[in-house]
Every structure is written in C-alpha cells, then in structure tokens.
Structure 1
Amino acid sequence: MDLFNSEIITNILPFDGITNYHGIILDKEKCTFYYNQLLKTIQFKNDEAMLFGKKIITKRKVAWYGASEFSYTYSKVTKTATIFTKELLELKAIVEKESGETYNSCLLNLYHSGEEGMAYHADGEKMLKKNGAIASLSLGAERKFSFKHKANKQRIDVILENGSLLVMKKGTQTNWLHRLPPTKKVNSPRINLTFRTIEL
C-alpha cells in the first residue's frame, strides 16, 4: 500500500483510530531554514524519565514550548513550558491550516542520529485533550515510525520524510502504541515537533 503520495491524505491505521499522513508540507528551502533556526533558538536539553524508580537521562534532547507557562508531566517528570518562539508560531500556523486543528503547545525532540529513538508508548497523559489531535512535523533525517495495536499487536510502519506531517487523533492513543525505532543506517540529525493541546 502506498502511504507516501503527498497529494493524498491517508489514514494509515486499519481500525481503532485515525492517523493521517499528509506527506511533505514544507519544501526543502523552508525545511532547511526552520531546521537551522530551531537549532539556534530552541533550548534543547537531555530528556529525563523515571524508570523503575530511577531517573534516566536520555541522549535524545527535548524542549517544551507553549502559549503560556503551563506544566506538563510525562514519564513522571514535570516540565514547564517556555513561551512559543517566532518560528514555532509560524510552524504552528502552517500545521493548523494543514491539519484543520488547533494547538497550544509543542514538545520538540532532537535525535542526533538514527541510534537515538523512542520505545513504544502512547501519549495519554491526563492534561492532554482527550482524543485530541497530536501533529508530528519532521525536519531533517528521514526515519521509520511504527504503530502497534494494544490488543492484537498488529504493526503499521510509515516513513516520515523531511518536511512531512503526521496527525494522530480519535482513538489512536487509546488503542495504539507508537515508537521511533533506532537504526544504524541513519547518521544525520532529526528534529520532531509534536504540536498538541493541553487542557488548562
């Protein structure tokens, strides 16, 4: 099945959720501009998580931005949002127009190479809008992204290209897990912006 025709918005999940792959929404020039600006202006820090009662520091770096300085807790670690930068507001407007949704926050991930990834999880934190849309914008290295159904373990893979948009909503977080599998085939960095809505 062709999931990569940017002219067709495809729901890549066969059931129990909607995840629309919009394909590439930013041209190469804009991708390069925003990628470089984000590296210069975003306050990336190594991520922290609690695992079996121990604090884990990841190689992956993260940053948390929002319309206000609200707090967000995941992996038992609380972060306070930094106010949106000019570039983040521009990208948010582009993503909102493309997805038909609105967002008030953005969690950014910086993966230095393919060896950095993320294990299976669902974004089901209580402060997130229930069944709300989470828009994932990719800049930089092309990476595979995987979904696994919580009940029957069916797996769906999609390649996230430079400048592409993936929007998860309506049951996706309830019924599916997702991950960014590590790979030794990718040597360049990737910035992933996940726009989401926090209920205040």
Structure 2
Amino acid sequence: MSAVPELELIEGFYNQADCRQLLERLLDEQDWPNNRYQVGERWFELPRQQTWHADPGIRYSYSNNLLVARPWTPLLSELRAAIECRLNAKFNAVLVNLYRDGNDYVGWHSDNEREMGDEPLIASLSLGAPRTFAYRHKRSGEQGSTRLNAGTLLTMRPSFQHDWRHSVPPAPEVADPRINLTFRYVLPPPN
C-alpha cells in the first residue's frame, strides 16, 4: 500500500454483497442533516453530508464547531463491535460521512483535536464508490495515496495524526455515492 507504517489497509473487511447491503441501509436509515457550520462570523456548507454518533456524554468538535451527538443505531453498533473485535480496540464515537458523488470531498486535515487525546487511533470503513485517500507529511512534504474500495478498513495509527495530513479529493468522474465511517475514541469530558 504505502511506505507509511502508521497506515494499515485491510481489504475485504466486508465482502461486496455485504457492502451493498450496508450502503443501502445507511442511505435509508441515516437522517442526513443540512451540514452548515460557522467559523467566526462566516457560515459554510460542508462539501459532503455527515452525522455524529457517540456514547452518552461524549462531546467532539472540529474547527471550533461542536458536533451534535446522536445515539448509536443498531447498525452502527453492529459495525463498531465488528471493528473493535478485529482491531482489539475500543471506540465510543463514529463520524458517518456521505459523499453523494465525486463532487463531495474532504480537504487536507489531521484528526488531532484535543478531545481525542495524545494517541488517537482511527478506524475508517469505506462503503460504496471507490475513492482516493491522499496523504502528505507535515514537514517533509512527502506525498502518497491509496484507493479505498468498498469493504476496505483503513487504520490510522496514533502517530499518523501527528505527522501527516490526509484528504479525500474531489473526483468528478465518480457518479455513485460513498459512505465512510470513522470510528474513534474520544476522551470523556472532565467531571
């Protein structure tokens, strides 16, 4: 896959038949909100749709925007259990991103918010249309990419967020939807 040891790609975590069924269920069962957010005095619309699900009491924000947590659905709980078992890790939250087609994207970023602690482990499950996962080193500028097919589980080890940025760039030639679920452990707020 890459020379980046902080990334682990598990192809075929779900088979193609399961992927189609999971994608259809998520498209039907998720209540996709209007994804507008505010930075300072300006309002923006995300170039994708997303929902945030977490255990009770878990709070998370990025770009100083607090995400409204929804409860776990039975399907999301099932996916979490399968991924936790495979990785021998615990997750208490998931960000579900819907890329409606290749015009939807996520820009360069690192998932290094303070709520995730010093050692954030992220497990990213892809369903639907294949898309490119691009990454570049924060200091050296080294770049790379990999294709995330339906059923792929990408694990980003803790040091990846410290040293690298990543993105899913636009791909106008892609007409089909993709759902990406990023499972993470968010530190509970102090009492």
TM-score range, shorter-chain basis? over 0.9
The question of 1:157 aligning with 2:145 is answered yes
Q: Decide whether the 8 Å contact of 1:69 with 1:80 is kept in 2.
A: no
Count of residue pairs the alignment pairs up: 188
Change in Cα spacing, 1:169 to 1:53, as seen in structure 2 (3 Å) is: farther
TM-score, normalised to structure 1, is 0.88
Residue 158 of structure 1 aligns to a residue whose secondary structure is: strand
Find the counterpart in structure 1 of residue 164 from structure 2. 176
Find the counterpart in structure 2 of residue 112 from structure 1. 100
Q: Decide whether the 8 Å contact of 2:112 with 2:120 is kept in 1.
A: no
CA RMSD of aligned residues (A): 1.5
> Residue 20 of structure 2 aligns to which amino acid in structure 1?
T
Residue 146 of structure 2 aligns to a residue whose secondary structure is: strand
Residue 62 of structure 1 aligns to a residue whose secondary structure is: strand
- The percent of aligned pairs where both chains have the same amino acid is 30
Q: Which has the higher contact order (CA 8 A, sep 6+)?
A: 2
Identify which range, 172-181 or 97-106, moves more after superposition.
97-106
Structure 1: 5+ residue stretches without partners:
4-11
Q: Decide whether the 8 Å contact of 1:60 with 1:111 is kept in 2.
A: yes
Of residues 39, 43, 47 in structure 2, which corresponds to 1:55? 43
**Structure 1 residue 34: Cα displacement:** 1.3
Find the counterpart in structure 1 of residue 11 from structure 2. 23
Of residues 118, 122, 130 in structure 1, which corresponds to 2:118? 130
Q: How does 1:52-131 map onto structure 2 within 5 Å?
A: 53-131=41-119
Residue 98 of structure 1 aligns to a residue whose secondary structure is: helix
Identify which range, 43-52 or 70-79, moves more after superposition.
43-52
Rounded to whole Å, the distance in 2 between the matches of 1:38 and 1:129 is: 29
> Residue 181 of structure 2 aligns to which amino acid in structure 1?
L
Q: Give a deviation string over 1:30-89, Cα, whole Å, max 9, x none.
A: 111211111122222233344574120124100000122432111221112111110001
> Residue 58 of structure 1 aligns to which amino acid in structure 2?
L
Of residues 15, 34, 41 in structure 2, which corresponds to 1:46? 34
The answer to which structure has the higher strand fraction is 1
Residue 171 of structure 1 aligns to a residue whose secondary structure is: helix
Structure 2: 5+ residue stretches without partners:
none
Rounded to whole Å, the distance in 1 between the matches of 2:86 and 2:11 is: 11
**Structure 1 residue 113: Cα displacement:** 0.5
Runs of 4+ residues deviating >3 angstroms: 48-53
Change in Cα spacing, 1:172 to 1:53, as seen in structure 2 (3 Å) is: farther
**Structure 1 residue 166: Cα displacement:** 0.2
Rounded to whole Å, the distance in 1 between the matches of 2:38 and 2:139 is: 26
